[in-house]
């Protein structure tokens, strides 16, 4: 086993030493193996765990993705963790949170690996067109009131190959750089990058963050996309984000849809402005 692999555990003692955050990653619950970090974080949150509580594992066996999909990760190779958040903001702003988290994860990946991920609405990070990271944000409400949110992040880090059937669409940081990346450093950097953004979000300074997301995403503007939702699909040209983080897609003259849920797929070619 290479030295970095041997040393690259996600033990709380290792993480805490490097962490600059005030709230995020406090406390840390570390598991050698579990089903889904989102599920454990949810249990802890419903029992009263404070904002910032983090659940991280060396091996996630039943990871969940968006829209009921599975999320595959490899033991000791990938990064899977979840945070408990208790933001006191209007519920209509919550969908911006995973976009903002995506910016922070992208910045952290860039700092640690030198790669510059692209952001694909709503929650994917792509490198050279292949998905390296996904974010699953789950809101728990009681009597119509937001109680807490679990945000789960999965990053394909050091595996030499991705899971069967995913090689056309997914990749790992190792495949993209040709070198091992320290998962603990990446995790620390994500928390350090996300916290200042999160505090701006809590202060409702959301517009500059959404503008930053648009700047960092090649999908945000002037891109032909196919929008796939549970009950319908349509094509259009992206036009940026609404103030609540919905993707604006132009379907015809004067007809712009606010897309709140679903997936987008690149359609044909990038539109060139005349």
Interface positions with ligand BTN (CB under 6 A):
36-38, 60, 63-66, 69, 71, 80, 82, 123-124, 134-136, 152-154
Choose between 69 and 147: whose C-beta lies nearer to ligand BTN. 69
Asked if residue 122 has a cis previous peptide bond (ω within 30° of 0), the answer is yes
Q: Is 59 exposed, middle or buried (0-12, 13-18, 19+ CB in 10 A)?
A: middle
Task: Give the span between the Cα atoms of 92 and 47, in whole angstroms.
Answer: 25
List the alpha helices (DSSP H) in the chain.
3-7, 12-18, 37-46, 95-113, 173-177, 183-202, 207-216
CA distances in angstroms from 22 to 116, 172, 196, listed in the order given: 27, 30, 10
Choose between 81 and 198: whose C-beta lies nearer to ligand BTN. 81
User: Shortest approach of ligand BTN to residue 191 CB, angstroms?
Assistant: 14
Choose between 8 and 124: whose C-beta lies nearer to ligand BTN. 124
Choose between 113 and 156: whose C-beta lies nearer to ligand BTN. 156
User: Shortest approach of ligand BTN to residue 244 CB, angstroms?
Assistant: 20
User: Shortest approach of ligand BTN to residue 206 CB, angstroms?
Assistant: 22
| Residue 143 CA, distance from chain mean position | 28
Task: Give the span between the Cα atoms of 188 and 182, in whole angstroms.
Answer: 10
Choose between 122 and 254: whose C-beta lies nearer to ligand BTN. 122
User: Shortest approach of ligand BTN to residue 140 CB, angstroms?
Assistant: 15
Residue nearest to ligand BTN (CB): 134
């Amino acid at each position: 086993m290479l030295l970095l692999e041997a040393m690259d555990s996600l033990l709380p003692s290792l993480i805490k030493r490097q962490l600059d955050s005030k709230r995020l990653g406090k406390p840390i619950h570390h598991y050698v193996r579990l089903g889904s970090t989102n599920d454990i974080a949810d249990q802890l949150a419903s029992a009263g765990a404070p904002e910032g509580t983090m659940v991280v594992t060396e091996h996630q066996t039943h990871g969940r993705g968006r829209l009921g999909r599975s999320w595959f990760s490899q033991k000791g190779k990938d990064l899977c963790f979840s945070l408990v958040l208790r933001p006191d903001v209007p519920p209509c702003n919550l969908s911006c949170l995973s976009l903002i988290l995506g910016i922070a994860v992208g910045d952290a990946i860039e700092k640690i690996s030198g790669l510059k991920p692209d952001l694909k609405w709503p929650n994917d990070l792509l490198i050279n067109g292949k998905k390296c990271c996904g974010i699953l944000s789950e809101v728990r409400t009681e009597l119509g009131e937001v109680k807490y949110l679990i945000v789960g992040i999965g990053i394909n880090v050091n595996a030499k190959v991705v899971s069967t059937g995913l090689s056309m669409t997914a990749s790992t940081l190792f495949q993209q750089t040709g070198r091992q990346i320290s998962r603990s450093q990446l995790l620390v950097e994500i928390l350090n990058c996300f916290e200042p953004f999160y505090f701006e979000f809590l202060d409702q300074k959301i517009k500059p963050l959404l503008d930053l997301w648009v700047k960092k995403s090649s999908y945000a503007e002037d891109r032909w996309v196919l929008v796939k939702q549970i009950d319908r699909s349509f094509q259009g040209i992206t036009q940026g984000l609404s103030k609540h983080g919905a993707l604006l897609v132009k379907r015809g003259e004067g007809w712009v849809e606010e897309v709140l849920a679903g997936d987008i797929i690149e359609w044909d070619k990038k539109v060139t402005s005349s």
